[in-house]
Amino acid sequence: MKTEIPRDHLKIKDVEKLSRERIKLRISNRGKNKINVARMKLERALKKRITIYGVNTGFGALLNESIAVQDQKVLQVNLIMSHALGAGSLFELPVVRLAMFLRANMLAKGYSGVRLELIQSMINLINRDVIPVVYTKGSVGASGDLAPLAFIALVLMGRGEAFYQGKRMSAKLTLKRAKIKPIQFGIKEGLALINGTEMMSAQAAINVIQAEQLINIADIAGALSLVALGGNIESFDDKFSELKPYPGQKISAKNLRALISSNSNPDSLPESGLPRGSIRQNAYSLRCMPQVHGAVRDGIGFARKIVEIEMNSVTDNPIVFDREIISGGNFHGQALALAMDNLAISLCTLSGISERRIARLLDTNLSGLPAFLIPRPGINSGLMMTQLLAASNVAENKVLATPASIQSLPTSANQEDFVSMGMDAALKANKVCENTEIVLALELICSCQAIDLAKRRLNRKLKKYYDLVRTVVPFFKKDKELTPYLQLLLCKLKTINSEKN
């Protein structure tokens, strides 16, 4: 995949490919010109002995420390060495790859004052699939993702560690094998590599991609559960969405009608369950799927909007404008923090309503089916544990849905006295994505088992998803170990495409 930078109108669909596929980047002529002009402006300002934060001053609370000319390059190296402090697990490689692309793309817009060589060095890592080892713990999401991005900068210097051809090794060895020369940072260049939100943005973008897949799976799982329980389709009529016109509600209602009706005509009868006009009302976890799933869709849509704005922003500091170089706060990740907290809350809701449908399917008093969806309950425990595992994940989601964006703790001797905690919000949201996927997979296992027990007839569209589940999860006539089937289904869910709306 080939692409030129800078890209000015990145969308989530663009970065989905960039995070997963090997890409070849190059800097456009327009980008080269802007990069060189900004560098000249920076050098001209220094010749005039203008004080520029992070170039001829210290960093953070050390901003009043003046840096001599002969020490200004050393300052940039020392910055990376001191700031590459992390702990915990490692970021997944697609997140790091995407963060590298986003940072290179931002620098190529020509507002940072770095040399063309620095950006080309970052591009060389991407083009040759050298992915730095980056720890998840270390960013408070305010002065940019200082620590995570510093680990990337370390590799450019030939320090730290990286993955190359599937192996983790020293950066020195990696660069040698990839035939990349380490770079020596010039003025401002260490700061320009780490003062931004690209690591948060990368994780947030991947969270949104996962969440958009999960909401479509939720519509499918919910439709299978409703058919299995003999539910009423009437409450999904488009007339309800006309009276409460949330965009997400309209999409989920349309999806559900298409999945459950004998064809896509909303006036058609369901092939199974109660006919239209029945006075019976489904429980909320079934009847209110358009309203609940729809609200989640709108929450995901909000997150998508914020992430796309952030990905296309200049988040460096200081910024080189046409006639001046100004220190500002575009590195602050509050918008991302709020978006990721909202995403976590939205998916917590989605996992919660799915768990309620699982419980309803398993309860013989509510489903009219054998207890725990197994022939000969008693000697067999059936799918009893699916609800326990779902409940465990939902409970953890509720803890993780506690906002990180309100948890500011001052750093850097109170110079950075209000931080976003955006990285924590993004990491929490990612874990909520994982938990929610497990819950939805469990619902699919239960709903397909219930459909077989109830001998429900499925339309072509819904049967396609039933068959997808059945390729890895059989009908259980007696107790079996369930974990292997769950893991196979989780892998299979990656292949489910978004519903066309």
- Residues assigned a catalytic role: 53
311 and 10 in contact (C-beta within 8 Å)? yes
344: CB partners within 8 A, 6+ apart: 397, 400, 401, 425, 428, 429, 432
How would you classify residue 270: left for phi > 0, otherwise alpha for psi between -120 and 50, otherwise beta? beta
Point out which residues pair with 167 in neighbouring strands: 164
Q: What are 8's two structure tokens?
A: 């000015």
Q: Which residues have C-beta within 8 Å of that of residue 300, sequence separation ≥ 6?
A: 208, 211, 212, 215, 343, 346
Residue-wise over 430-450: b if at least 16 C-beta within 10 A, else e? bbbbebbbbbbbbbbbbbbbb
Closest of 80, 102, 201, 82 to residue 150, by C-alpha? 80
Amino acid code (one letter) for 190: G
Q: Which residue has the tokens 């299978």?
A: 224
Burial class of residue 38 in the structure, from the number of CB atoms within 10 Å of its CB (0-12 exposed, 13-18 middle, 19+ buried): buried
Q: Which two tokens stand for residue 385?
A: 């544990």
233 vs 275: CA distance, rounded Å: 8
66 forms beta bridges with 57
In contact, 223 and 256? CB cutoff 8 Å: yes
State the Cα–Cα distance between residues 99 and 198, nearest whole angstrom. 5
Secondary structure of residue 274 in the 3-state scheme: strand
Q: Which residue(s) pair with 320 in the sheet?
A: 325
The answer to whether 101 and 126 have CB atoms below 8 angstroms apart is: yes
The CA-based dihedral angle spanning residues 86, 89, 94, 95, taken in that order and rounded to the nearest 10 degrees: -50
